[in-house]
Amino acid sequence: MNGAALRRIAVLIEYDGTAYRGSQYQDNGPSIQSELEAAITKLTGDTPRAAFAGRTDSGVHALGQVAAFDSSVRLRPDEFVRGLNHFLPADIAILGAAEVGVTFDPRRRAQMRVYRYRIDTSPVRSALERDRTWHVGRAVDVAAMQRTAARLLGKHDFAAFAGPYEGSTVRTLQRCEVTQDGREVTIEMEALAFLPHQVRRMVGPMTEVGLGRQSEDDVAALLGGVASSAGPAAPACGLYLVRIEYDGLSLAPAEGNGQER
Amino acid sequence: MNGAALRRIAVLIEYDGTAYRGSQYQDNGPSIQSELEAAITKLTGDTPRAAFAGRTDSGVHALGQVAAFDSSVRLRPDEFVRGLNHFLPADIAILGAAEVGVTFDPRRRAQMRVYRYRIDTSPVRSALERDRTWHVGRAVDVAAMQRTAARLLGKHDFAAFAGPYEGSTVRTLQRCEVTQDGREVTIEMEALAFLPHQVRRMVGPMTEVGLGRQSEDDVAALLGGVASSAGPAAPACGLYLVRIEYDGLSLAPAEGNGQER
């Protein structure tokens, strides 16, 4: 590879996280990163590292993860989309691609991250939604969950909703919406950045409120509390990384070949 | 088992057909029937045959398949639901159960069958919807497909939309609706009975019309034609057995323990 000829490519990725150990390298099994890098090598002959915008755990899904890598090969963005999809396994798909500046860092450049958590309140489990929702199996008090969500909104110390963490645990939760559609309850959260496991560690106690096992005050009182005090995280299978927003970069799947504007 | 003590139980079944050779016994791999019968044996000690309302092929899914079996064990319907779900694999789920008359035959007693076919017109394939939609990858002319559907409605000889078949190939298609939601096009069909593969063999040419490769007249002219002349079937993965209706029997998942009225 000739350094002068390198271009940086950003890709929009959908995946079913069920079969993977997470988005980034893990010693104990395949990751989205290892599969993506293998596909890049098959397509281009390059052996770059792919940098991911958000870290997702084993079993967590993505509708719009973003990764970037360098390439010496002069393919158009839509050729990267088609070529990588040819080499990737069926549970990982590239939805769009764009050439970006050579200093583009998908994690640091992100302006907003959107996550969705799906809760199945049906009395019996679903076959088709296995590994894609958290089956709590009972009706929940959605209004109580909505009131709890409203109290978690804004700038707070979210240490209680993460494990031990080096650095500031203050984050600003810009949106936290609880909605219901039939038997399914969905929680969407939006922030510039989240602590590790924060979404699942917030969904856990919010659902306890919905089930009547914790009060709204209990959960609100966790803000500013010590690491891990919020209790168990909701299972990975219900969580989706929906979207990551960047100023001036569109990787929208509609086009299939986004461009940095 | 004591014959006099036998009761007949009907169950409502959801499944992801991807891993199975079809609803009924096959020599070359597991079927929904073999898994259901194994779960019944584990739960009750009985070794009955389960009779299915509709035959689905390898890879076809069900939101509401119906099966019936005899049991010597005095469990309530909701206990059958919970107990069978405990022993069934995660990609098969019992949604409801009811005690029915000892002569109940789920295939012959069916009053209406509803199938859904999902077509993904997005230019790029989806990771989460793999094995659950047919990815045609191009926009389709939905209005042309709707006009074709209207011409297939009613009582016709559907031999062209099935392989060689013993007996009458006249069926009455009561509903055939093509709808669009974003990139997804859905075809729903409803009839008292369908020929083997009929839904997929109708979806194939209807989609060819949507893609501009066949005319509405071409497809309408197949009615009354010879076996198999409609051409290739649409892939199994996009097809769902949605619902089977019976006079006086409710297996609705809402209750989790339906009853014959």
Strands B154-157 and B184-191: unpaired
Are B61 and A90 inside 8 Å of each other by CB? no
Q: Is the pLDDT of residue B20 over 50?
A: yes
Q: Given pLDDT bands bounded at 50, 70 and 90, which one contains residue A23? A: very high
Kindly state the tokens that stand for A59.
Answer: 């079993």
Q: Is the pLDDT of residue B231 over 90?
A: no
Does B131 lie at the interface with A, CB-CB under 8 angstroms? yes
Closest listed residue to residue B64, CA positions, set B250, B261, B259? B250
The chain-wide mean pLDDT, for chain A, equals 93
Are A125 and B81 inside 8 Å of each other by CB? no
Q: Is the pLDDT of residue B257 over 90?
A: no
Restricting to B residues 10-39, those with a Cβ less than 8 Å away from any Cβ of A are 14-16
Q: Is the pLDDT of residue A220 over 90?
A: yes
**Alpha carbon of residue A187 to chain centroid:** 13
Are B130 and A256 inside 8 Å of each other by CB? no
Are A131 and B90 inside 8 Å of each other by CB? yes
Q: Given pLDDT bands bounded at 50, 70 and 90, which one contains residue A253? A: low
Q: For A128-144, what is each residue's pLDDT tens digit?
A: 999 999 999 999 999 99
DSSP E strand boundaries for B143-205? 154-157, 170-181, 184-191
* A14 chain-B contacts, CB cut-off 8 A: 126-128
* A130 chain-B contacts, CB cut-off 8 A: 16, 90-91, 93
Q: Which class for A200: exposed (0-12), middle (13-18), buried (19 or more C-beta within 10 A)? A: buried
Are B125 and A253 inside 8 Å of each other by CB? no
Distances (CA, A) of B3 to A23, B99, B106: 57, 16, 20
Nearest chain A alpha carbon to B14: A127
Q: Is the pLDDT of residue A254 over 80?
A: no
* A81 chain-B contacts, CB cut-off 8 A: 124
Kindly state the tokens that stand for A128.
Answer: 């088709």
Residues with Cβ within 8 Å of B23's Cβ and at least 6 positions away in sequence, in order, are: B17, B31, B32, B33, B52, B54, B55, B56, B60, B62, B65
* A19 chain-B contacts, CB cut-off 8 A: none
Q: How far is B251 from chain A (nearest CA, A)?
A: 13
Kindly state the tokens that stand for B198.
Answer: 């009929």
Pick A130's closest partner by Cβ from B90, B95, B256: B90
Q: For A28-46, what is each residue's pLDDT tens digit?
A: 889 999 999 999 999 999 9
Nearest chain B alpha carbon to A124: B95
Closest listed residue to residue B12, CA positions, set B131, B133, B106, B108? B106
Kindly state the tokens that stand for B255.
Answer: 């209750």
Residue B29 confidence (pLDDT): 87
Pick B125's closest partner by Cβ from A85, A124, A132: A85
CA distance B36 to B240: 19
Strands B61-71 and B112-120: unpaired
- SS3 category, B254: coil
Burial B199-235 (b: 16+ CB within 10 A, else e): bbbbbbbbbbbbbeebebeebbebbeeeebebeebbb
Q: For A98-116, what is each residue's pLDDT tens digit?
A: 999 999 999 999 999 999 9
- SS3 category, A118: strand
Q: Is the pLDDT of residue A117 over 80?
A: yes
**Alpha carbon of residue A93 to chain centroid:** 15
Q: Is the pLDDT of residue B260 over 70?
A: no
Q: For B94-108, what is each residue's pLDDT tens digit?
A: 999 999 999 999 999
Does B50 lie at the interface with A, CB-CB under 8 angstroms? no
Widest CA span of chain A, in angstroms? 61
Residue A118 confidence (pLDDT): 98
A to B CB pairs, distance under 8 Å:
69
Nearest chain A alpha carbon to B139: A254
CA distance A189 to A150: 11
Query: Which of B16, B27, B46, B57 is flagged as catalytic?
Result: B57
Q: Is the pLDDT of residue A71 over 60?
A: yes
CA distance A60 to B77: 35
Q: Given pLDDT bands bounded at 50, 70 and 90, which one contains residue A145? A: very high
Are B127 and A14 inside 8 Å of each other by CB? yes
Residue B1 confidence (pLDDT): 46
Nearest chain B alpha carbon to A12: B124
Are A63 and B128 inside 8 Å of each other by CB? yes
Output A1 or B208, whichever has higher pLDDT: B208
Which residues of A are catalytically annotated? 57
Are B14 and A126 inside 8 Å of each other by CB? yes
Residue B17 confidence (pLDDT): 98
Residue B5 confidence (pLDDT): 79
**Alpha carbon of residue A242 to chain centroid:** 6
Residue B76 confidence (pLDDT): 95
How confident is the model over A188-216, as a mean pLDDT? 97
Are B127 and A93 inside 8 Å of each other by CB? yes
Strands A134-135 and A112-120: parallel
Q: For B120-150, what is each residue's pLDDT tens digit?
A: 999 999 999 999 999 999 999 999 999 999 9
Residues with Cβ within 8 Å of A108's Cβ and at least 6 positions away in sequence, in order, are: none
Restricting to A residues 219-258, those with a Cβ less than 8 Å away from any Cβ of B are 253, 256
Q: Is the pLDDT of residue B254 over 90?
A: no
Instruction: Please say whether the beta carbons of B123 and B136 come within 8 A.
Output: no
Distances (CA, A) of B67 to A206, A226, B10, B34, B258: 39, 53, 6, 12, 14
CA distance B249 to B259: 7
Nearest chain A alpha carbon to B82: A124
**Alpha carbon of residue B155 to chain centroid:** 21
Residue A257 pairs in a beta bridge with none
DSSP string, A129-190: TTTTSEE--S---HHHHHHHHHHH-EEEE-GGGSSS-SS--EEEEEEEEEEEETTEEEEEEE
Does B196 lie at the interface with A, CB-CB under 8 angstroms? no
Q: Is the pLDDT of residue B201 over 70?
A: yes
* Least confident window among B149-153, B208-212, B256-260: B256-260
CA distance B99 to B97: 7
Residues with Cβ within 8 Å of B86's Cβ and at least 6 positions away in sequence, in order, are: B43
Instruction: Please say whether the beta carbons of A96 and A251 come within 8 A.
Output: yes
Q: How far is B158 from chain A (nearest CA, A)?
A: 31
Restricting to B residues 133-192, those with a Cβ less than 8 Å away from any Cβ of A are none
How confident is the model over B76-97, as a mean pLDDT? 97
> In a mutagenesis test of the B interface, which of A11, A122, A124 is the best target, namely the one with the most B β-carbons within 10 Å?
A124
| Overall size of chain B counted in residues | 261
Residue B253 confidence (pLDDT): 58
